[in-house]
């Protein structure tokens, strides 16, 4: 009987104190990981490097084979966009890639192998701009000649890859942003970015119940609408694969293995949507697409490195 008394549960005071300490620490960590509004809504910071590449040879960044490198994380949906367009266009011999890996202990991306004499992405950013103090994110389009970051906004990098390196592409005929579909593509991009691409993060990084519920309802309202649209369309803009599909696919392929559980996007799985499931399957089976992401890396990056959301670091089977 005495042994049972010694193993009694913590008192309510200890529970309340521990809860207060954890919530305080959690809010501090979340403010660094995911800045939010006063209402607890996640607010994604803007990318800082917004230059382009041009086919004009007197441009600051002219289109040249072998001059540029992409820095990507294999678990990151934003970097995945650039790898998809690189693969679809057949630019593997024109643009190199360097893999970076998230480090929870260092609080950022580190190089799988040293590049430009840098061990981390932060060092690369500071090589490009010595006084840089912002977020060091992937993807990065890097100019090896001038040792500078050309662009770190994925939505712009995929346009650059689609338009500015066609003379080096093995799939020159593919245009993922045809003029006749441009307005439709942009309309889908706007809806998908807010409610789906960033919507899953707005769910996972919400810091209040109301912020989470608003984001989650918006996410599934949009997924329901896309499911209905895909009843009569192969892709978002009819029978042609476009940049809008690239931007949607990279979120959907991560949905069931990461966002559904870790980010509380738990009303439905993508596998519960017949048309979305067919859509993901079709794109996933296009040539070379499976080489552009790694499910094991996705699970490691999300469950293993987003400490405030998964303090144990346990990665689900």
As annotated, the active-site residues are 76, 201
* SS3 (DSSP) at 205: coil
Per the DSSP assignment, residues forming a β-bridge with 109 are 102
29 neighbors 307 (Cβ within 8 angstroms): yes
Q: What angle do CA 49, 53, 57 make, to 5 degrees?
A: 135
Eight-state DSSP code of residue 112: E
For 175, phi then psi, to 5°, come to: -120, 115
CA distance 167 to 172: 7
Gap between the Cα atoms of 84 and 100, Å rounded? 17
Measured between alpha carbons, how far is 134 from 125 in angstroms, rounded to an integer? 9
Residue 140: strand pairing partners: 71
Contact criterion met (CB below 8 Å) for 63 and 164: yes
């Amino acid at each position: 009987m005495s042994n049972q008394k010694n193993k009694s549960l913590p008192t309510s005071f200890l529970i309340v104190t521990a809860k207060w300490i954890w919530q305080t620490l959690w809010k501090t960590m979340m403010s660094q990981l995911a800045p939010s509004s006063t209402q607890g809504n996640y607010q994604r910071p803007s990318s800082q490097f917004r230059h382009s590449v041009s086919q004009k040879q007197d441009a600051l960044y002219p289109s040249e084979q072998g001059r540029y490198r992409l820095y990507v994380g294999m678990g990151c949906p934003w970097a995945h966009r650039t790898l998809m367009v690189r693969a679809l266009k057949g630019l593997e011999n024109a643009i190199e890639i360097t893999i970076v890996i998230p480090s929870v202990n260092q609080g950022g991306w580190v190089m799988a192998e040293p590049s430009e004499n840098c061990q981390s992405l932060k060092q690369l950013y500071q090589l490009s701009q010595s006084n840089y103090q912002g977020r060091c994110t992937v993807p990065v389009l890097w100019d090896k000649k001038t040792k500078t970051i050309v662009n770190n906004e994925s939505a712009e990098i995929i346009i650059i890859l689609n338009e500015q390196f066609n003379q080096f592409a093995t799939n020159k005929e593919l245009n993922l942003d045809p003029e006749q579909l441009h307005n439709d593509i942009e309309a889908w991009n706007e809806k998908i970015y807010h409610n789906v691409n960033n919507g899953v993060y707005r769910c996972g990084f919400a810091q209040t119940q109301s912020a989470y519920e608003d984001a989650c309802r918006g996410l599934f309202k949009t997924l329901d609408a896309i499911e209905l649209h895909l009843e009569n369309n192969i892709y978002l803009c009819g029978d042609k694969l476009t940049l809008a599909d690239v931007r949607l696919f990279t979120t959907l392929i991560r949905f069931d293995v990461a966002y559904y559980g870790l980010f509380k996007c738990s009303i439905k799985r993508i596998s519960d949507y017949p048309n979305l499931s067919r859509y993901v399957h079709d794109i996933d089976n296009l040539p070379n697409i499976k080489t552009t992401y790694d499910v094991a890396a996705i699970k490691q990056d999300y469950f293993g490195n987003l400490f405030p959301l998964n303090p144990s670091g346990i990665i689900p089977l």
